[in-house]
Each structure stands twice: as structure tokens, then as C-alpha cells.
Amino acid sequence: MKVKKAEELVQKGKEFLDAGDFQAARKAFAQALELDEAIPTRNNLALAYFMAGEPLRALEALEPYVEPENENTGANPFSYALAARIHCSLDQKDQARRRLQQAVRSFEDGLSELRRTGLRQDLNFFREYTVIIMRAAADLQDHRLVFDLYRRWESHHVSWENKFLAAVACFNIGRYKRAASLWSSISGVHKLFECMQQLAFMIERGVIPPFEMSYELESDDKLQEMVKEAGASEEARRQCVQNSFFRVALLSMILQDDSSKSAILAIYSLVQYGGEWGEKLGRQVLEYPGFSPALKLAAAEALVARGVLREGEPVPMFIEGEHRLVEIKKTPVILEPDEELDKIVDRAIRLRDNGQTEEATALLQDLYREGKLYPRALMTLANLLRHKGELEEALQLMEMLEEIAPEEPALLFNFAGLMLQMGEPRRAREYLERIDSRGLDSEFRQKMKGLEKDIELAEATSLLFCDTEHLINKYVEEQRMKIEEKPLPPDATLARGLKNMPAHWLEGACLVYGLDPARRRREREEQLKEFLAGYENLEEAVRELVEEERELLRYLLQRGGWSRLNAVTRKFGSMEGDGFFWQEYDPESPLGVLWSQALVMVGRATLDGRSCKIAAIPLELREPLERILGNM
């Protein structure tokens, strides 16, 4: 009866532990020990004290059972490993190592005993001890020992935590490819693991400077809490960036989409508050061809803010396919009404009304080039550019204004008009619907109604002319998407990838490479395999690609040669609209072009028990492509 009651109390204690209620957990375990003195219960009591930040009381609960002179106490590998962690937290490293050695011996002796006695049903439970033993080695920052223990007991691991700890250890000793492989195998467990895999490859290639990663995996709640703390002060931001998982979370924003607002804020924070590592990161971002100009400018601005670079001094960076000297200047936005600037804007409006559009545009462009960012002047200039049909230039100014005043009705109205002019009625409606019409005068409301009618007409016209084309496009898109569903392992060979491609795609690829397509499908496959096996042929094929297509190849190579398709399409765009009859109509997306030339394959793979689409460079093309791209 007492034993049963003790078991119930232990179960409650574990639930309290999981919930973070350490006081209630200690109470439950202490009551259970009064009923039944069992070493697992004592381990849990010590663990509750340890997690509550009371290492001395935790050690007091364990020490009589783990002392070598006290034989047959029933202590198990968990007892010794926990004692090692407690000693380490008290900065008693020598005692921690002795306890860790006891834990290793106890585990291996226990394994031998279980095998000898044939108690296979207890083996899986016993194998769980590998996690806390590896954690004890991790607490000592003995990265090589952590990985050695992983390899020694590789057939006994039953938890994803074993692979996580081994991956961190490999990352910290510079074995980045092995770290990436381990994180890839558990990528479904935590959203940051896929980023860590990519990050390891980028450090291996020298794109990101190395840093030491913590073995403590922060929860989403903890990361959110750190984000809030980072907003409190510069010192708080500096401390947050020193946390390796906060750092990884920011780097993941950059790897997902390096031109997004989140990525821009992330790189600025990492460079500004990342100390010596942050400075190295900033300089490497400037030099690496694969990052967007927006990301490079944010990194440069952070280096200026730190005093590493001087404002107005030309900064060398690799941008738009070549090395350039770029001058960084801080240009403040003039938010307060300015009488002199208003006179210039009024003059430009008079010139416009008199039909002197060129003169009005030149007047406001001069103001802009002087670095005077006055919202009223920018809005007027954007509308003048719209009138002239220079829509991309107008869009650039409107996006700048949106950063300054995202909910300003006049801005949203003009943005809606610009989107309509650019042939995007759906986006025009989105901007129009963002306007809060409360408090607006009747004239403005009337203009809104007029614009809404124009949008409705554009939407109706678009539907009228697109119905037939839509049906055709839908058919060809569906045909291509069926090919995307074919099985494709991440390390597929060229031969395997070619088998997934329709016969007319093989014909199109042969024509691209100047080959006379053979009559039989199998012969076409052999033609392409033989052609791409030639280094000079492959080099010429890469030279013919545009920069964005080459960049997609680099992106995949940085990640071990393949990536999930959703990550690729976020950064390089989807294949939507590329159709299916590629022997007649070449695809336009970077991914479609590379697939049509058999340099990248798309298919469905099973990763960690889950099915997902991937984009992969054929296995035998990865090494030569890396060399070719490295020389460009």
C-alpha cells in the first residue's frame, strides 16, 4: 500500500516538475521518500532542487549515495550524471569530472548486466540515461567528449536530444558538415534546427563567422521574452545578441528572406550589438555576393553606427554582381512643416499645373538628391513620376513613404492608384481598404469612391480577358505540379533526377545544350549525363546563366546541395506560371530554368517521417559546381 502511494506521489512530482512548480515537486518527492526509499525518487528530489537553483540542497540529497566508499547504495547512471551537473554548477570541475566518469562506468556496467540477464524490457528505459550523461559533459564545455559519447553509444540513443547535443558539440569544434547532418535528421523537432543546418554550411563556406553555440535550447516563450527585453535598452540588446539561440533566431530571419524588413532589423542588431563577432559578420556580409543589397546596406549602417566605418567614407562591397565603393550617409526625414520646402513644393505643383512636368520633376528630384527627405515633396515627386510612366521609380518613393507613415490616408490612396496603374488591381484594393475613412472630408471620400469604381472595372476586365487563358494555364500548371510530386531523395544522382523529367523536357534540355535530341528517351538521358559530366561543358552552362540562377545554385550548395522547396520559393520565387511544355516555351523562374537544364531537380522526399517537396542539385554535380561558382 505504501509503495503504491509513493508511486502516485512520484508521478505527481514529475507533473509538477514539467510544469515548473519546483516547490510542489520537492514536496511530493519528499513525501514519497518517507513511504519508500528508492533511488529514482531521490534522483527526482535532487533534480527538483537543482532546477529550482538550489545546488547545495540537491547535492545533499544525492551525495551519500554517489560516494565511491558507500557501496551498493543503488545509485544509477542518472545519479552520478546529475551529481556531475551539480558540481559543475558550483564550479567544482574536478569533482564534476569524477562523477561523470562514474556515470559512464555505471552506464556501461548496467548495459552489460541487462544484456547478460536478458532483461530487454528495461533496456530502452536504461538507454535514456545517455542524455543526462551527455548533458553533464556539455556542462563542462567538453565538446569533444560530448561527441565521443554520442559515437560510443550511437546504437543506444532513444531521444532526439542526443543528436541535438552531438550537433552542438560538432558545431563548437568546427565539424560543421557533421553538425548540419545531425540537425537535418531532427529538423522536424524544432523550427530552428533547419536554420542551424543551413547556418553550419554557411560557416563552413566562410560566409558567416563562427561562434560557440549553447547546449541549452531556449523555448519559443523564452525567445519572445528576450525580444521584449531587447527593446528596453542598448545593454539589453547587447546581452540578447550574446545568447547563441537568440543569435540563431535572428540569423534564421536572414536565411529565410534576406531582403525582408525582419532580416534588415536582424542584421543591424547582430552587427551593432554582436561585439567582435558582429563586426566580422558585417564585413563578411558586405563581401559575400549572395546577400541582397538591402542587407548589405543595413550591415554597413550598423558598422557606421559602431564607429567601425565613417559616414561618407566609401565602403567596399560586392553588390549587383561586382565590387563597388558605396558611400553611406544618414539622411534624416523632415517630419515637421518647413516653410522653405513648402515653397519649393508649391512651385513644383504650379509648374505641373502649367504643363511643365519635366521642370516640376527636376525641381523635386534636385531636392531629393540633396538628401532632403520631406514627405510632401516625396509624395508630389512620386505622383509626377507616375504621370510620366516611371512607375518603378515612383514605387521606390512610395515604399519609403510607407515606412515613414504607414497609415496616412493620402499615401494609401496614392499607393492604391499606383498599384492600379501597374496592373495590380488586387493590391490596389488592399491599399484602398486600409484607409480609415473616419474624419475624412467629403471630397476625399468622393475620390475614394471614384478609385474604387476604377478598381472594380480593372478587376472585371481582367476576368473577362483571362478566363480562357486561365483555364489553359491551370491545365499546364497542373501537369508540371504532377512532376513535382514524383519521389526524389535529397542526394539523388543525375540519372535518378532525369528519370522524373518528361520526355519533352529532356528534348528541351538537349536543345539548350546544342545537342541533337536522340529519338529514344533513354538515349536522351545518356546524352545529358555524358554532356554534364564534362567539366568544361558544365562551366559553360553555368556561365550562360543569369546571376539570380547562379545564386540559387550557391544557395543550395551552402545547404549541402538541397533544400526544402518552400525555403527556395520564399527567396527566389515560385515556378508559378512556368507552364509545362518547356521544349517550346522556356520557363522564366530561376528554379524552372535550372530544372529545365537538369542542373536542379524538384520532387517529393520523406524527411523525418514527413513528406515534403525539395529542390536538389544532382549529387555528382555538386562538387564541380562548387568549384565553378567559386571561380566566378
For 16-37, give the DSSP string.
HHHHT-HHHHHHHHHHHHHH--
Q: Which CATH number fits domain 2-170: 3.40.50.10490, 1.25.40.10, 3.20.20.190, 1.10.1040.10?
A: 1.25.40.10
Contact between 10 and 39 (Cβ < 8 Å) = no
% pLDDT > 70, the chain: 93
Average of per-residue pLDDT across 8-33: 85
CA-to-CA distance for 106 and 75, rounded, in angstroms? 9
The Cα-based distances of 18 to 47, 78, 81, 128 in angstroms read 12, 18, 20, 17
Query: Would you state the pLDDT for residue 165?
Result: 96
Query: Would you state the pLDDT for residue 161?
Result: 94
Cell of 274: 554582436
Q: How confident is the model at residue 320 (pLDDT cuts 50, 70, 90)?
A: low
CA-to-CA distance for 162 and 67, rounded, in angstroms? 27
Query: Would you state the pLDDT for residue 466?
Result: 47
Helix (H, G, I), strand (E, B) or coil at 346: helix
CA-to-CA distance for 306 and 321, rounded, in angstroms? 27
Same fold, 2-170 and 339-459: yes
The number of beta carbons lying within 10 Å of the beta carbon of residue 523 is 12
CA-to-CA distance for 591 and 593, rounded, in angstroms? 5
What are the φ and ψ backbone dihedral angles of 325, each rounded to 5 degrees? -105, 120
CA-to-CA distance for 222 and 395, rounded, in angstroms? 39
Domain range annotation of the chain: 2-170, 220-327, 339-459, 485-630
Helix (H, G, I), strand (E, B) or coil at 605: strand
Helix (H, G, I), strand (E, B) or coil at 315: strand
CA-to-CA distance for 106 and 84, rounded, in angstroms? 13
Continuous H helices in 205-292: 220-230, 234-242, 244-256, 261-273, 275-287
Model-level pTM greater than 0.75? no
Q: 547 or 135: which carries more pLDDT confidence?
A: 135
Q: How confident is the model at residue 70 (pLDDT cuts 50, 70, 90)?
A: low
Q: What is the pLDDT of residues 154-197, one digit of tens each?
A: 888 889 999 999 999 999 999 998 998 899 888 878 878 888 88
Query: Would you state the pLDDT for residue 330?
Result: 63
CA-to-CA distance for 467 and 462, rounded, in angstroms? 9
The Cα-based distances of 501 to 212, 231, 521, 529 in angstroms read 43, 51, 10, 13
Q: How confident is the model at residue 267 (pLDDT cuts 50, 70, 90)?
A: very high
Angle of helix 619-630 versus helix 547-558 axis, rounded to 10 = 120
The residues pairing with 318 across neighbouring beta strands, listed in sequence order, are 323
Q: How many residues does the chain have?
A: 632
CA nearest to 422, candidates 395, 400, 448: 395
Place of cell 554557411: 202
Cell of 94: 574536478
Asked which of 151-160, 303-312, 447-456 is least confident by mean pLDDT, the reply is 303-312
Q: How confident is the model at residue 135 (pLDDT cuts 50, 70, 90)?
A: very high
Q: Which CATH number fits domain 339-459: 3.40.50.1000, 2.115.10.20, 3.40.50.300, 1.25.40.10?
A: 1.25.40.10
Average of per-residue pLDDT across 582-611: 85
% pLDDT > 90, the chain: 27
Quick one: DSSP state of residue 214? P
Contact between 248 and 195 (Cβ < 8 Å) = yes
Asked which of 172-181, 308-317, 345-354 is least confident by mean pLDDT, the reply is 308-317
Q: 5 or 513: which carries more pLDDT confidence?
A: 513
Q: How confident is the model at residue 368 (pLDDT cuts 50, 70, 90)?
A: confident
Asked which of 164-173, 201-210, 395-404, 494-503 is least confident by mean pLDDT, the reply is 395-404
pLDDT at 257 > cutoff 80: no
The Cα-based distances of 12 to 39, 45, 54, 181 in angstroms read 17, 12, 21, 38
Full DSSP string of 356-425: -HHHHHHHHHHHHHTT-B-HHHHHHHHHHHHHHT-HHHHHHHHHHHHHH-TT-HHHHHHHHHHHHHTT-H
pLDDT at 120 > cutoff 70: no
For the chain, the distance separating the N- and C-terminal CA atoms, rounded to the nearest angstrom, is 77
Asked which of 99-103, 152-156, 324-328, 499-503 is least confident by mean pLDDT, the reply is 324-328
Helices (runs of H) and strands (runs of E) counted in the chain: 33, 5
Q: What is the pLDDT of residues 455-504, one digit of tens each?
A: 888 877 665 554 444 555 666 677 788 888 888 888 888 988 999 998 88
Q: Are strands 601-607 and 610-616 parallel, antiparallel or unpaired?
A: antiparallel
Helix (H, G, I), strand (E, B) or coil at 97: helix
CA-to-CA distance for 388 and 367, rounded, in angstroms? 19
pLDDT at 328 > cutoff 70: no
The number of beta carbons lying within 10 Å of the beta carbon of residue 184 is 22
CA-to-CA distance for 451 and 64, rounded, in angstroms? 82
Q: Which helix (H) or strand (E) holds 601?
A: strand 601-607
CA-to-CA distance for 15 and 25, rounded, in angstroms? 8
HSE-CB at 449 with a 13 A cutoff on CA atoms is 7
Average of per-residue pLDDT across 281-298: 86
Q: How confident is the model at residue 223 (pLDDT cuts 50, 70, 90)?
A: confident
Average of per-residue pLDDT across 568-580: 83
Q: 396 or 100: which carries more pLDDT confidence?
A: 100
Q: For 141, left (φ over 0), alpha (ψ -120 to 50), or beta?
A: left
Mean pLDDT rounded to a whole number for the chain: 86
